Structure 1
């Protein structure tokens, strides 16, 4: 049986996702409502639909050149052509330095290339532009794990979970780290 609040939240998320963008970026007016739905829902399907809507809004950009560069960069990432992806995302952040998702995608590319310092710098910029960017925080946690800083990883994962409590993999990793760190304290 579907609860009325869950159904209402799902319908709201879909309507908001299909509405015309206010600014098509991290300051898009639809995001505040979607983040409230994400915090309030207990329904996994609603949470997933809401996360997808948020990510779609973050990817939107009013400039066709930026949209094309982002699409090409993502395709290069999936093809594991990291140097080509980096070139696309470099162009994105040069042309649209206020576009958080461009910085986040470039951070992902740096991470995959093993350049953790550059990835952290780009994540910090993405978070300055969009402090609720839970994938960037989760990515920061992965970087801290890669450089063997479990305390930093836990803080980053907890930050992501405070924004989006539905990140099951992040929650499991945070719980594991919390347990490991508690064991070290003994």
Structure 2
């Protein structure tokens, strides 16, 4: 089995993924970290030196590579399901279970406002209003892809442990 966590940045994919991997004794892979390790470059460096098209091709290649594994919790980048046929690859992988960690715009903004400097996509946004508008626009564009997941889990107001328990209960 491979469990794939999908959602917008700040939705908790990496945090929940790590907790879930401990609970189930599965390997945890953050796809962005995996790409950086394999390419020996940061995501920002890949975009700057090789361009987004190169990054998206490599992202698809490494996604398909990881989807061949077993007993893995895979946390995707927020944009991964939205490019190429990545979502189709996820949905047609035998033994894969995709979970959309769905949060409201307000909840995402509350989490992201303190992390802006570590997130290049939003670091340039100066006000909370600009961040809210940015997140809302992106969520609107991406929700079509995210909503194709096998399971949609609302995360607002829930603890890491509570979300993990809810995922495990839905699997078995």
In the superposition, the TM-score normalised over structure 2's length comes to 0.33
In the superposition, the TM-score normalised over structure 1's length comes to 0.32
More strand by share: 2
Report which structure shows greater RCO (CA 8 Å, sep ≥6): 2
**Structure of greater Rg:** 1
More helix by share: 1
